[in-house]
A = this chain, B = another copy of it.
Amino acid sequence: MIEDKNQQRTDLGQIGEFGLIDHLAKNFEIKQSSTIKGIGDDAAVLDFKGDKVVVSTDFLVEGVHFDLSYMPLKHLGYKSVMVNLSDIYAMNAQASQVTVSIAVSNRFPLEAIEELYAGIQTACNIYDVDLVGGDTTSSTSGLVISVTAIGHVDKDNEVYRSGAKPNDLLVVTGDLGAAYLGLQVLEREKEVFKVNPQNQPDLDQYTYLVERQLKPEARKDIVKLLKDLDVKPTSMIDISDGLSSEILHICKNSDVGCDLYETKIPLDPQVISTCEEFNIDSTTIALNGGEDYELLMTISQEDFPKIKANPNLTVIGYITEKNAGAHLVTRADQKIELQAQGWKSFKSTED
């Protein structure tokens, strides 16, 4: 690969805050009929004509949620939108708008921010959402991204974490653990690179894992699928912190217990082979890994015939009475209490 030695580097200070917003927003088209006014006024104006409005917001902080040494800025832009759309879909709602705010230090040239916004734009195009607002400001240190996603849902179609009932089936989309393993692979390559910068990483056998980490997809398709199948889940949540933690959120909010079957947890073959290579337990990874952005839901038993043939949906257990507790039923048919390891961004200073 021949490197361009004259890469353009435009200083953010030359452009200023107003200039930057105008510059970044000009490539974004408005496509949603609910967007009356996007970027360029004190606020965006939206019109959902009686639908319920759904709002979710998330932060992505450099050094905490991402490491720019292996996360390309375009992927980061894409992922920052996905993380938020995933929350909207977890309400059984349609995402229609996002606002994106960034705080950046002067070490980022304009071209870097353009890369970030190219990823945001790709996400907006593929997922059919409008960018309608945001704020750009300087930061004293790293890059901070705050995305707010806005969606809407027909009357009575929204699904909360709180509706699970005993005997409901516990259902998950896709497969689990790959994003976390992808992060482990990238971290390992970074350490190798530090020791030997000439070393070219060979990621061929980890392509799925790395893609799940760097370019996750929110499950917009599942909201449509559920509608087509005429299934309304009794509860739903997106898997950002790990299956274990999300199941416990549903149990706590719905005042129920559950039995989760270890043998039923869907794993990609690359997850299984890489866990063997790294000598770690694949169930632990699936339970606590996080960042899968799959959907976890509970479904009434009577809806089982509608979902049983579907390759996107895997039944992994069922809901029990609260006093039965929340358990993992192991391969050896032992019951272990589920614990939320999750992904803790606050590490104790005593660590």
Contacts and interface: CB of A to CB of B under 8 A. Distances in A.
Interface of A: 11-18, 20, 36-37, 40-50, 52-59, 61-65, 86-88, 90-91, 93, 97, 99, 101-103, 106, 132-135, 137-142, 144, 146, 148-151, 153, 158, 160-162, 236-238, 253, 340, 342, 344-351
Contacts of A103: 59, 61, 64, 144
Contact of A17 (B50, B53, B90, B345): B345
B148 A345 contact: no
A41 B161 contact: yes
A61 B13 contact: no
Contacts of A351: 13
A216 to B, nearest CB: 15
Contact of A346 (B20, B47, B99, B101): B20
B50 A44 contact: no
A239 to B, nearest CB: 11
A141 B141 CA distance: 7
A42 B84 CA distance: 9
Residue among A54, A97, A161, A340 having the largest count of chain B Cβ atoms under 10 Å: A54
A278 to B, nearest CB: 26
Contacts of A86: 42
Given A15-B346, A101-B58, A41 B140 contact: no
Nearest to A55: B44
Residue among A11, A56, A350 having the largest count of chain B Cβ atoms under 10 Å: A56
Nearest to A145: B146
A345 B144 contact: no
Given A138-B346, A140-B61, A148 B55 contact: yes
Contacts of A87: 42-43
Nearest to A142: B140
A46 B103 CA distance: 28
A271 B172 CA distance: 62
B13 A161 contact: no
17 contacts: A11-B349, A13-B349, A15-B346, A37-B160, A43-B87, A46-B53, A46-B54, A46-B55, A55-B150, A59-B137, A59-B146, A61-B140, A64-B137, A65-B137, A141-B141, A146-B146, A148-B148
Given A150-B55, A346-B16, A351-B13, A43 B93 contact: yes
A49 B47 CA distance: 10
Contacts of A20: 346
A55 B147 CA distance: 13
B61 A52 contact: no
Given A140-B142, A146-B101, A160-B37, A88 B348 contact: no
